[in-house]
Amino acid sequence: MIGTAGVNFNAAWIHDDIIDVNKISCNDIHAVLHTYGVEAARATIVNEIRAVFGAYGITVDPRHLSVLADYMTHNGDYRACNRIGINTSSSPWQQMSFESTCGFLAAAAVYVICGRSEHIVVH
């Protein structure tokens, strides 16, 4: 195993006589996506989430991880599964299921009542 700081797939490919390029893994989803494609990025997301939970002895049903990875890559790019990534969703229900329920619910209510979208801060 070789660990590196940073990502340089081309350098690894140049040294394919000493590196098994078929077993390269990387936790940089963006780099994997733009080098190997969306399916490789999706698989990397599943592997990384499994590794994070596994470090704490938590097992997650692989179907759940697949759904999450599918959601994060369904448009051919990848969407972060954090407050910012979920905020880009058009569904207030999906936004509320993540983290900031009150804020998303209030923004959806203002949109329905007033017909406009505003940034609402609820404390």
Could you state, in order of their start, the residue ranges of all structural domains in the chain? Answer: 1-81, 82-123
Q: Which residues fall within 8 angstroms of residue 79, CB to CB, at 6 or more apart?
A: 71, 72, 73, 85, 88
DSSP string, 33-81: HHHH-HHHHHHHHHHHHHHHHHTTT----HHHHHHHHHHHHTTSS---S
Q: Per residue in 31-47, pLDDT tens?
A: 999 999 999 999 999 99
Q: Per residue in 40-82, pLDDT tens?
A: 999 999 999 999 999 999 998 999 899 889 988 988 998 877 7
Selected residue with higher pLDDT from 86 and 57 = 57
